[in-house]
Structure 1
Amino acid sequence: MKQSLVLLGFISLVTFAFRSDKNETVFVKENFTYAGKQLKKMLTATEINKLAFPRTINKTGKLVTTNMYDWTPGFFPGSLWYAAEFSGDAALKNAAQQWTERLEPLKTFTQHHDLGFMMYCSYGNAYRLTGNEAYKNILVQSARSLSTRFNPVTGCIKSWNIFKSWHGSNTYNFPVIIDNMMNLELLFFASKVTGDTSFRHIAVTHAENTMKNQIRNDYSSYHVVCYDTITGKVAGRETAQGYADNSTWSRGQAWAIYGFTMVYRETKDPRFLKTAEGLADYFMNHKNLPADKIPYWDFNALQKGYTPGVRSHANNVNILYRDASAAAIVASALMELSTYSSSKGNQYRNFAVKMLHSLASPAYRAPLGNNGNFLLMQSVGSIPHNTEINVPLVYADYYFLEALQRYDLLMKGKKLFAVQKK
């Protein structure tokens, strides 16, 4: 009798797991179907100017675009690639190819650090899905361009050309922002396909110095670390888009989780895994994280002890906004991190699933044909700069789709990353 009950319990558990996976497969498919329809509406809206890349909406709900030299143009073609990959839709694939190839002039661009976002999210996905050698060559040249911003004295890639504190008179000539971790993937790629270890050296050195100087003891993160190019020492730690210099900007923490997870994938160095896990745990366990797992734009906004603190764009008071873009980035990162962490893998994956379900709920996912044809609502660009507040952002959509794609692969028992061929 006891054995029969155990067997029945096992069968029930397996049946529940099957139903759960089946429901989640439907969940992923429904979201990609919705995304395909919304992206096609976006394509129609961009027919007038095919060099204007979608970024957000304005106060009247109209589409706001940018040129290719902004940091965000790679996300729209990247989203098209993910949607085409899942659906097999030839029209989406054709559009992804066209929008990607419009970015080719950026392969020699050296004016800021965001070539990883600009080229790897677009051409990286294009090469992964097509194997087109021309795309690989463009990515390698892009990595060469990015490498020109590396300084061996600071051991980092320079982010912006100059940074002036928004709350004081400090001006820095070698700022490094936590976002810069995301651009290292392009360098690792170039090293693998060319055999040139200089790309990898730059990426690892940058990650090591970021880990040393930009991550606090509690695994929160500074947004901006500025270096003295003569001594290589830290000249200042500030924020550009967060609440305060000593606060934790939510999207910055998201970039850090994603970036160090990726660096561990490429190096298998346990230091980077420990850092990624610490950063993730800080995010997941923070007392100010809402129940739906979608963070406020800064974990410490409105708290005492975080100075100078910014004033909001309205009524001269601080207002708490959610940042769906930070949640989407973390959801994608945790899907990958769950495959590396021996003790917390299930915890990371389950947390990411909860985030995806929140993002796909009516509170954050836009009705079809609304929201400027972007997928997600309620993201924040920069409250200190009074820009892109509580609006859709193109990169939120990109990482939402990437997280869904990774979730789909994990449910199917597939690897997230194939071995890169030279």
Structure 2
Amino acid sequence: MITMKRINYKIGFVLLLGLCCRPVAAQQRVDVEKDLQYCHRQVARALAGLKKDGGWDYTRMPRNILAEDLKEGRTEWNCRPATPEEWCGGFWPGVLWYDYEYGGEAYIGRQARNYTASLAYLADRDPYDHDLGFLVHCSFGNGMRIAPCASYRDVIVGTANQLAKLFNPRIGTILSWPREVEKQGWPHNTIMDNMINLEMLFWASRNGGGQNLYDIAVRHAETTMNNHFRKDGSCYHVAVYDTVSGKLIKGVTHQGYSDRSMWARGQSWAIYGYTMVYRETRDPRFLAFAQKVTDVYLKRLPERSDDWVPLWDFDDPSPSAPKDASAACVVASALLELSGYVDVEKGRQYREAAENMLSSLSRNYQSGERCVSFLLHSTGHHPAGSEIDASIIYADYYYYEALLRLRRLQQGRPVLGIG
């Protein structure tokens, strides 16, 4: 009996130790309808604030509301022109499309179309950089899904062909920042964010753009998978390649804490990107890799915490390091999709993690009456001191997307809103 008790105590200690070494998995409730109604109200507030002198300037897109804005009583979006240099230009039209999808109001639909139309010129312009997917697929792509028309298809296919011009077949990836080739001394740079732009290539390939766009997307995903990650599944922000040999030179950061750290939003792009690539290819290599890059992210969230929003970089040692709500939004949306591709138990874990993230965001990060955004406490470019502890439009975009995905799952509908 004494031996058996000692064994039981030992087993109990090991089990307890195991629980203490990973985040609590207890599911937190998400009131999806309440949160979607909140987003709907905030969109109406934002539109009212964007109306100047009796009308709207559809060529200026919401970008951020900074911490100093709130301190000084400014509650409206800071806007930037819808130029190729403004990589976030497609997120506000995307938010409007999501709001139209949710509420079905004709007024919101008109605003979505008007803001979307200001980006149509990108289909006929040589690419400034890789962000064409963010600009066009978040706007025209959602428009095509919700209110399809031939002109939207033409813009998406045309823009995909522009993006394909940045592909280097010797290396196997799309060049991210042409302007950094000379500035940083990076002969061919590819950033993790570029994974998200592949979705536009896949869509365009299926809708008249041809096999070449599909092949470029797959090759980019393969090359990135082979070169852009450490053994544990964490990613570099930037992979630098030699243009002669096509070989990887080094992995570095641009927006993370260090070359060896795990920048939260960069990892979120990897999770979202490889989930999407598996959806488009059904290649089991990409499904396995999506799980690998997800599991390291979940493992490194704070132990036994009810806040599922990460620090801006998992390796920032500062006790005052800011959070990044945008990373949690991207991951939550991705996990709701990924949960349907894996086995039942893993799928349950991923969905619970996604709901915990959304619960944390809804309980602790909503801006409420303080400003017109959905969320506070995102981090843009920390090393540059830019958009720290701010409301940023892409956080709102992926938050709305994740809530709509969860609502569809709760209703027994396809997670992507297709079919």
Map 1:178-257 onto structure 2 (within 5 A).
178-194=192-208, 196-257=210-271
Which consecutive unaligned segments of at least 5 residues does structure 2 have?
Answer: 1-28
SS at match of 1:365: coil
Q: Is contact 1:162-1:175 (8 Å) kept? A: no
1:60 is matched with which residue? 69
Whether 1:82 and 2:84 are equivalent positions in the alignment is no
1:405 is matched with which residue? 404
Aligned partners of 1:60 and 1:79: how far apart in 2? 22
- Matched AA of 1:38: Q
Aligned partners of 2:122 and 2:82: how far apart in 1? 8
Aligned partners of 1:179 and 1:252: how far apart in 2? 7
Please point out which of 139, 142, 148 is paired with 1:122. 139
The TM-score normalised by the length of structure 2 is 0.86
Whether 1:96 and 2:112 are equivalent positions in the alignment is yes
Q: Is contact 1:253-1:279 (8 Å) kept? A: yes
1:364 is matched with which residue? 365
Please point out which of 250, 272, 277 is paired with 2:291. 277
1:340 is matched with which residue? 341
Q: Is contact 2:336-2:415 (8 Å) kept? A: no
1:28 is matched with which residue? 32
2:150 is matched with which residue? 133
Q: Is contact 2:94-2:112 (8 Å) kept? A: yes
SS at match of 2:79: strand
Whether 1:45 and 2:49 are equivalent positions in the alignment is yes
Aligned partners of 1:31 and 1:195: how far apart in 2? 38
Whether 1:259 and 2:282 are equivalent positions in the alignment is no
2:87 is matched with which residue? 71
- Matched AA of 1:186: M
Map 1:147-166 onto structure 2 (within 5 A).
147-163=164-180
Q: Is contact 2:405-2:417 (8 Å) kept? A: no
1:156-182 CA distance string (max 9 Å, x none): 0000014389xxx95213110000000
Q: Is contact 1:162-1:171 (8 Å) kept? A: no
- Matched AA of 1:360: S
Aligned partners of 1:94 and 1:175: how far apart in 2? 39
Query: In structure 2, do the counterparts of structure 1 residues 256 and 141 end up closer, same or farther at CA, with 3 Å as the change threshold?
Result: same
Q: Is contact 1:78-1:398 (8 Å) kept? A: yes
1:326-364 CA distance string (max 9 Å, x none): 000000000000000114101000110011011111x20
**CA drift at 1:57:** 1.8
1:233-277 CA distance string (max 9 Å, x none): 112211011000010000000000000000000001111111110
1:310 is matched with which residue? none
Q: Is contact 2:325-2:375 (8 Å) kept? A: yes
Aligned partners of 1:292 and 1:107: how far apart in 2? 41
SS at match of 2:240: strand
Stretch moving more, 346-355 or 54-63 = 54-63
Aligned-pair identity in percent equals 40
1:108-158 CA distance string (max 9 Å, x none): 340110011000000000000112111111100010011000010110000
Aligned partners of 1:419 and 1:401: how far apart in 2? 17
Aligned partners of 1:208 and 1:164: how far apart in 2? 23
Q: Is contact 1:151-1:158 (8 Å) kept? A: yes
**CA drift at 1:318:** 7.5
1:108 is matched with which residue? 124
Q: Is contact 1:32-1:87 (8 Å) kept? A: no
Query: In structure 2, do the counterparts of structure 1 residues 87 and 216 end up closer, same or farther at CA, with 3 Å as the change threshold?
Result: same
Q: Is contact 2:301-2:308 (8 Å) kept? A: no
Please point out which of 294, 299, 304 is paired with 2:314. 299
Query: In structure 2, do the counterparts of structure 1 residues 225 and 211 end up closer, same or farther at CA, with 3 Å as the change threshold?
Result: same
1:8 is matched with which residue? none
Query: In structure 2, do the counterparts of structure 1 residues 195 and 54 end up closer, same or farther at CA, with 3 Å as the change threshold?
Result: closer
SS at match of 1:298: coil
SS at match of 1:391: strand
SS at match of 2:259: coil
Aligned partners of 1:164 and 1:388: how far apart in 2? 25
Aligned partners of 2:90 and 2:388: how far apart in 1? 21
Aligned partners of 2:155 and 2:58: how far apart in 1? 21
1:81-107 CA distance string (max 9 Å, x none): 111111112221111111111111122
SS at match of 1:225: strand
The TM-score normalised by the length of structure 1 is 0.86
- Matched AA of 2:92: F
**CA drift at 1:216:** 1.4
